[in-house]
Structure 1
Amino acid sequence: MKELANFPYVHVLVLGLAKSGTAAARLLLQNGRKVRVNDKNANDDDAIVDELKSMGAEVVTGSHPLSVLDGVEIIIKNPGIPYDTPLLKEACRRDIPVITEIELAGSLSDTGMIGITGSNGKTTTTTLTTEMLKASDRKVKVAGNIGYVATEVAQSLVKNEKMVLELSSFQLMGVQTFKPNIAVLLNIFRAHLDYHKTFENYKKAKCNIFANQTADDYLVYNADDPTVAESVTTANSVKIPFSLNKQVKNGAWADDMSIYFKNEKIIDKAEIVLTGDHNLENILAAICAAKLSGATNQGICHVLRTFTAVRHRLQFVSNVHGRLFYNDSKATNILAAQKALASFNQPVILLAGGLDRGNEFDDLKPYLEQVKGIVLIGETKEKLKRVALEAGVPFIKMADKMDDAVQQAYDLSEAGDVVLLSPACASWDQYQTFEERGDMFIQAVHTLL
């Protein structure tokens, strides 16, 4: 078992179990810390509650009483719990620091981490980077927001093995000393403001990925994104830019025909099977991170010639009587949906809608020109209907369930059309996760067959 380094706290409150909270509680208990766990959705007779109690934890379920803060030196919270809950407000008043589980992962790993964040493209870039290192015979594991708990993966690392972390703003908002050796900042635009409240708070959370870096670290950043380019000027690390629009001296770039790292040609664009300009940005970022970690051109090119898509991110599902069905359920915001729509030149039937976070969707209008039909689901149906009407979308339909939405989309389509699930919204109004929503879409498409 690896021991926690640079973690001076003894009395710890783990707020929220789920996968990351459970892993954090186990790790702390194994390292001799005094752990109190609080989860309002858990029950006293849950198996995990019994396990943690048997390991020595105090577990409080059913509510968030302020008494759980008594004697606590630090809180490790589930990333999804907002900071404006009464319990965390009181913790702030008492000057109790609040961190997330990735801070513990940083205390475990001594092999150098690659951390990847951005408003969009995190999963694709994380997967590409990992696969490029694997194809170059480098030891590597993936973790974080991509579905694998960072502390569990960090404990399993062997000598010279890298960990590639996908990091959300929710995770990064709660860091103190955490820093990856290689940080990747893909893009920043207005998102998750229901959680962060202001764009400045959101931007600060994203920039925490490089806040603790030193001159011995690297920061890979999108030189084409004005917000990113401005934000990284304060970084102390070595800056490695990437750009689709210009040649950059010390990073990755592209011209009309090829992709380069510094002055070295890596691959011709025609050989890359992953579609979309936004994915070219992800590819450039991944090349930077992979090359800095020892990947070979042969390994990088093998991945780019074979990698098609991450599940639920512009994932090709099936050809049904000439209609091409794509699952982009991971498009949980407007920018992701814009980039998905921009990836196609043929007519599109769009399935969109989901959780209402209070925003409007007018920024989608310019991307609806080739959308000949739209099927709307979820809480945002009426908001998206207004935008579709103003954009002149010929056919607008409403659906309550995914199978009905897919059937209506098929009925609107013709051979040669793309049927695209790209919701521009989170899934939590109808589904527990975007993966569940995407799986329901895939199941409905296969039912058409």
Structure 2
Amino acid sequence: MNKLTTFPYEHVLVLGLAKSGTAAAKVLLANEINVRVNDGSEVDNEEVVKDLESLGAEVITGSHPIAVLEDISMIVKNPGIPYDHPLIKEAQNRDIPIVTEIELAAQLARGPIIGITGSNGKTTTTSMTAQMLEQSNLPVQVAGNIGTAAVEVAEKTDHEERLLLELSSFQLLGVQMFRPKISAILNIYEAHLDYHKTLENYQQAKCNIFKNQIKEDFLVYNADDPTLVQLVEQANAQLVPFSVTGYQDQGACVSDGFIYFKNESIIKVEDIVLVGEHNLANVLAAVSIAKLSGATNTAIKHVLTTFTGVRHRLQFVANVQERLFYNDSKATNLLATQKALRAFRQPVILLAGGLDRGNGFTPLIPDLTYVKEMILFGETAKKLEELANEAGIPSIMTKDVMEAVDQAFASSVEGDVILLSPACASWDQYRTFEERGDMFIHAVHRLA
């Protein structure tokens, strides 16, 4: 196991007993640092508490008493805990440094770190990049916002392994010394303002990914995003732009139907399996990171001709009797469904509906050009029926996703796309969007 090399803090408070907090606490304890763990909720899993206590941690759950700050020299905070939390504000008043576990991961990792952030597309880009490196026989470990806690993976890496991290703005807000060899910012849209309070705060959190980079490092960024073009001017790293719309001889771009990286032709765009212009931008980012990491063109081509998307995110499921089924269950809002609809230039049967959040659906109308029928379910079915009527599109009401798939197949002809892109959260009928998407996949496979 790798050890923390330069860690001057003797008494650390781990705030939040989620996956990352538990992993961080165990790493700190393994490095013989005094650890206090505090979680505001009563922890359901007593085994986790007993395990940490047996390793030497002091665990306090059920509330956040100010007393937990006594003798503390650093806080490792769960990314979801906001900075206006009373305990965090008091810690700031006492000048106690506050970081997230990626700061520990950066010290534990022995090989180069690659960090990917952005408002949209992080998981898709991270997954593609990982596969490109693996296909090139370049050792890589994936962690962060994508699933496994970064510290848990970082402490097991060797000098040859790359640590590939998907990073949220919440994680990046606490950066002190974290420095990736390659960083990437895919895009910046207005998001998470309930947490960051202002757009400027959110943007600066994203920019923390390159805060400590130096001229030997690389910053991959979206040159089609005017805000981002301005923000990266403050970076010290070598800038590597990517663009769907314009030629980039210092980065990646689309030209004459091909993907290029630094004037080198990589692959025909028509050979890429992943659909959607937004995914084309993700492809350019992944190609840039992979090439900077030493990936081969053969490996990159293999991935781009086989990668069908991240589960529940415009994921190709199957071709059933020349009907193409796509699972976009993660489209829990209008913007996500708009992007999905823009990915197709052929007849679409749209499956939509779910939790009613009180919003209207009129903004979808310009993107319904190729939609020939709407199959509706859930609380918002009636609202979406009104939208279909307004757009002059036939619609059918069903009870759930399973019935919607059967109805869509019955209505379809060869060449149709059958797309689940609900534009709504799932909680009226399903516990998660994953459960909703899994029902869609099951229904499609049953047809097949």
TM-score by length of 2: 0.89
Which residue in 2 is equivalent to 1:112? 112
Can you list the C-alpha shifts for 1:125-179, whole angstroms capped at 9, x where unaligned? 1111111111112111111111122111111112221111111222222222212
- Say which SS state the counterpart of residue 156 (structure 1) adopts: coil
- State the Cα distance separating 1:191 from its structure 2 match: 2.3
Which residue in 2 is equivalent to 1:7? 7
Which residue in 2 is equivalent to 1:435? 434
Asked if structure 2 preserves the Cα contact closer than 8 Å seen for 1:374 and 1:393, the reply is yes
- State the Cα distance separating 1:64 from its structure 2 match: 2.9
Can you list the C-alpha shifts for 1:225-250, whole angstroms capped at 9, x where unaligned? 11211211111110000112111121
- State the Cα distance separating 1:419 from its structure 2 match: 2.5
Cα distance in 2 for residues equivalent to 1:268 and 1:80 = 41
Cα distance in 2 for residues equivalent to 1:317 and 1:90 = 50
Which residue in 2 is equivalent to 1:419? 418
Structure 1 residues 352 and 175, CA, compared in 2 at 3 Å: closer, same or farther? farther
- State the Cα distance separating 1:186 from its structure 2 match: 0.8
Can you list the C-alpha shifts for 1:327-364, whole angstroms capped at 9, x where unaligned? 12333554433222111122323344567788766553
Instruction: Please say if 1:147 is aligned against 2:120.
Output: no
Cα distance in 2 for residues equivalent to 1:257 and 1:265 = 10
Gaps of 5+ in 1: none
Which residue in 2 is equivalent to 1:37? 37
Asked if structure 1 preserves the Cα contact closer than 8 Å seen for 2:181 and 2:217, the reply is yes
Structure 1 residues 47 and 171, CA, compared in 2 at 3 Å: closer, same or farther? same
Query: Which amino acid letter does the alignment assign opposite residue 439 of structure 2?
Result: M
Comparing 254-263 with 310-319, which one deviates more in the overlay? 310-319
- Say which SS state the counterpart of residue 80 (structure 1) adopts: coil
Which residue in 2 is equivalent to 1:350? 350
Asked if structure 2 preserves the Cα contact closer than 8 Å seen for 1:130 and 1:142, the reply is yes
Query: Which amino acid letter does the alignment assign opposite residue 91 of structure 2?
Result: A
Cα distance in 1 for residues equivalent to 2:88 and 2:354 = 28
Comparing 83-92 with 139-148, which one deviates more in the overlay? 83-92
Can you list the C-alpha shifts for 1:272-302, whole angstroms capped at 9, x where unaligned? 2222222221111111111111112222222
Cα distance in 2 for residues equivalent to 1:74 and 1:378 = 47
CA RMSD in angstroms, aligned pairs only: 2.9
Can you list the C-alpha shifts for 1:83-124, whole angstroms capped at 9, x where unaligned? 344433443444433322111111112321111111221112
Which residue in 2 is equivalent to 1:395? 395
- Say which SS state the counterpart of residue 64 (structure 2) adopts: coil
1:180-329 aligned at under 5 Å gives the runs 180-320=180-320, 323-329=323-329
Cα distance in 2 for residues equivalent to 1:188 and 1:289 = 18
Asked if structure 2 preserves the Cα contact closer than 8 Å seen for 1:347 and 1:417, the reply is yes
Which residue in 2 is equivalent to 1:56? 56
Cα distance in 1 for residues equivalent to 2:108 and 2:420 = 39
Structure 1 residues 95 and 405, CA, compared in 2 at 3 Å: closer, same or farther? farther
Comparing 35-44 with 289-298, which one deviates more in the overlay? 35-44
- State the Cα distance separating 1:67 from its structure 2 match: 3.0
Equivalences, count: 448
Asked if structure 2 preserves the Cα contact closer than 8 Å seen for 1:120 and 1:335, the reply is no
Comparing 34-43 with 112-121, which one deviates more in the overlay? 34-43
Asked if structure 2 preserves the Cα contact closer than 8 Å seen for 1:372 and 1:395, the reply is no
Cα distance in 2 for residues equivalent to 1:333 and 1:68 = 39
- State the Cα distance separating 1:270 from its structure 2 match: 3.0
Asked if structure 1 preserves the Cα contact closer than 8 Å seen for 2:372 and 2:393, the reply is yes
Identity over aligned residues, as a percent?
A: 62
Asked if structure 1 preserves the Cα contact closer than 8 Å seen for 2:49 and 2:59, the reply is yes
- State the Cα distance separating 1:201 from its structure 2 match: 2.3
Asked if structure 1 preserves the Cα contact closer than 8 Å seen for 2:341 and 2:367, the reply is yes
Asked if structure 2 preserves the Cα contact closer than 8 Å seen for 1:15 and 1:39, the reply is yes
Asked if structure 2 preserves the Cα contact closer than 8 Å seen for 1:114 and 1:162, the reply is yes
Query: Which amino acid letter does the alignment assign opposite residue 434 of structure 2?
Result: E
- Say which SS state the counterpart of residue 155 (structure 2) adopts: helix
Asked if structure 2 preserves the Cα contact closer than 8 Å seen for 1:191 and 1:333, the reply is no
TM-score by length of 1: 0.89
Cα distance in 2 for residues equivalent to 1:433 and 1:27 = 31
Asked if structure 1 preserves the Cα contact closer than 8 Å seen for 2:184 and 2:220, the reply is yes
